[in-house]
Amino acid sequence: MAQAGTGQSLIHAKLEIHEPPLGYSTTPGAITDEFEFDFNPTQLVLSRRALWKTTPTAAVRDGALPEFMGPEPREMEVDVFLDNSHDPGGTDLLKKVELLFSCCEVTENSIDANQPSTPWVVFQWGSFTTARFTAFVSSVTASYTLFSSTGVPIRARCKLSLNEIPTKTAGQNPTSGALTARRVHRVVAGDSLQSLAWREYGNAGVWRAIAEANGIDDPARVRPGTELVLPAAEEVSR
């Protein structure tokens, strides 16, 4: 759960809203909208669980040995604060809240393709890559806290519950025993292999590992929008 900080400059966060993919792809479809908002939490809590199963056995006095069934996806709650008090007669705040609620509605394109699904989303905030993952919005709660003299909401707090959609990455072997899975990063303006290496591994000098994983000969020509496979930390250390 994220809570707003006070007395500090706000950093923009962004929620990309995508069409769900068709077929069995785990890559989000085309971006249909982008929701930007000021974000400065004092805490941001992500949760993840490992699933174990225990089957009672009468012959075992001290209890059966638990069986590992696999990791469960990440979950995160994000608080979005909206303020339109500078324009009491405007409807921007209502439109933004409606856009967030639409993340829990089935898209027309997915219905036409006989694969009904709500949009897929990607939350991004600065260089905090741990909180950046593909997800679906399981719930949206909007609390209107201030109204204009005509009854139009001009301030609201929205709470989003994000549930990770696990993605498969080319070259990843689920039985390899790696502690960290590879993931995909979509290049944005200002990204470089060196900056990605620093953010992911704390060492800009290992950018060659990213280049090799993606068959890149000229690291200066990586364009925004390109999807890069980021090797697991264990692969880079080896």
* Per-domain residue ranges of the chain: 3-48+64-164, 183-237
Helix/strand/coil for 237: helix
Q: What is the C-alpha to C-alpha distance for residues 163 and 47, in angstroms, rounded to an integer?
A: 10
Kindly report, residue by residue over 121-166, the tens digit of the pLDDT: 998 887 777 788 899 999 999 999 999 988 899 999 999 999 998 8
DSSP E strands, 75-117: 75-83
pLDDT at 119: 95
Residue range 191-198: mean pLDDT, rounded: 85
User: DSSP readout, 172-216?
Assistant: --TTS--SS--EEEE--TT--HHHHHHHHHS-GGGHHHHHHHHT-
Nearest to 33 by CA among 100, 84, 92: 100
**DSSP type of residue 131:** G
Q: What is the C-alpha to C-alpha distance for residues 97 and 100, in angstroms, rounded to an integer?
A: 5
Assign 3 a pLDDT band (cuts: 50, 70, 90): very low
Written out in words, the top-level CATH class of the domain with range 183-237 is alpha beta
Q: What is the C-alpha to C-alpha distance for residues 109 and 93, in angstroms, rounded to an integer?
A: 26
Model confidence, pTM: 0.62
Q: Which tokens is 238 given?
A: 């080896």
Q: What is the C-alpha to C-alpha distance for residues 223 and 186, in angstroms, rounded to an integer?
A: 10
Q: What is the C-alpha to C-alpha distance for residues 122 and 17, in angstroms, rounded to an integer?
A: 7
Kindly report, residue by residue over 36-79, the tens digit of the pLDDT: 887 877 778 889 888 888 777 666 567 777 777 788 888 999 98
Predicted confidence (pLDDT) at residue 96 exceeds the cutoff of 70: yes
Q: Which tokens is 216 given?
A: 């890149």
Q: What is the mean pLDDT of the chain?
A: 81
